[in-house]
Structure 1
Amino acid sequence: MQNAQLILPAPAKLNLMLHILGRRPDGYHDLQTLFQFLDHGDQLGFALRADGEIHLHSELTGVPHDSNLIVRAARQLQQQSGTRLGADIWLDKHLPMGGGIGGGSSDAATTLLGLNRLWQLDWDEDRLAALGLSLGADVPVFVRGHAAFAEGVGEKLIPVELDEPWYLVVVPQVFVSTAEIFSDPELTRDTPAIKVRTVLERGGRNDCQPVVEKRYPEVRNALILLNKFVSARLTGTGGCVFGSFPSQVEADKVAARLPDHLPGFVAKGSNVSMLHRALENWVESRM
Structure 2
Amino acid sequence: MDTLADLPPTSHAGWSLWPAPAKLNLCLRIVGRREDGYHLLQTVFQLLDWGDIVALRPREDGRILRPRGAAGVAPADDLAVRAAAALRAVAGGDVPGVDIDIDKRIPQGGGFGGGSSDAATVLVALNRLWGLDLSEDALADLGLALGADVPVFVRGRSAFAEGVGERLTPLDLPPRSYLLVDSGINVPTAELFHAPDLTRDCPAMTISGSISGSMGENVFEPVLRARSPAIAAMLDRLAQVGEARVTGTGGGLFVAFDHPDAAQAARQALPGGWRTWVARGVNESPLRQRLAQGAPPG
TM bucket normalised to smaller: over 0.9
In the TM superposition, residue 79 of structure 1 has moved relative to its aligned partner by 0.5
Q: 1:17 aligns with which of 24, 27, 31?
A: 27
What is the CA–CA distance in structure 1 between the aligned matches of 2:127 and 2:86, rounded to whole Å? 12
TM-score, with structure 1 as normaliser: 0.95
Greater mean deviation of Cα atoms: 104-113 or 172-181: 172-181
* 2:258 is the alignment partner of 1:246: yes
- Say yes or no: does 1:79 pair with 2:89: yes
Match of 1:270 in 2: 282
The answer to whether the aligner puts 1:232 opposite 2:221 as a matched pair is no
1:105 deviation in Å?
Answer: 0.2
Alignment gaps of 5+ in structure 2: 1-10
Taking the TM superposition and a 5 Å limit, the aligned residue runs for 1:33-52 are 33-52=43-62
**Shift in Å, 1:193:** 1.4
How do 1:211-230 residues align onto structure 2 when only pairs under 5 Å count?
A: 211-230=223-242
Q: Residue 196 in 1 paired to residue 207 in 2?
A: yes
State the secondary structure of the residue aligned to 1:249. helix
CA positional deviation for 1:59? 4.1
> Counterpart of 1:115?
126
CA offset digits 1:260-284 (Å, max 9, x no partner): 332110000111111111222244x
Matches within 5 A, 1:96-107: 96-107=107-118
Query: How big is the shift at 1:178?
Result: 1.4
Q: TM-score, normalised by structure 2?
A: 0.92
Greater shift after overlay, 189-198 or 48-57?
A: 189-198
Deviations 1:110-139 (A, max 9, x none): 000010010000011100000000000000
Point out 4+ residue stretches in structure 1 off by more than 3 angstroms.
Answer: none
Match of 2:75 among 44, 65, 74: 65
Which moves more between the two structures, 108-117 or 212-221?
212-221
- State the partner residue of 2:173: 162
Q: Deviations over 1:211-239 (max 9, x none)?
A: 01111222111110110010111111121
Q: CA RMSD in A?
A: 1.4
Residue identity in the other structure for 1:264:
T
Aligned equivalents of 1:150, 1:258: Cα separation in 2: 32
Amino acid at match of 1:239: G
1 CA distance for matches of 2:243 and 2:103? 31
Contact persistence 1:173–1:218 (CA under 8 A): no
What is the Cα deviation at residue 176 of structure 1?
A: 2.6
Q: Distance in 2 between matches of 1:126 and 1:4?
A: 29
Indicate the SS of the match to 1:258: coil
How far is 1:28 from its partner? 1.7
**1:96 partner SS:** coil
Q: Deviation of residue 4 (structure 1)?
A: 4.1
The answer for the alignment partner of 2:4 in structure 1 is none
Instruction: After superposition, give the CA deviation of every residue in 1:67-102 in whole Å (9 maximum; x if it has no partner).
Output: 100110000000011143110111100001110010
Report the Cα distance in structure 1 between the residues aligned to 2:69 and 2:22, rounded to whole angstroms: 20
Aligned residues: 285
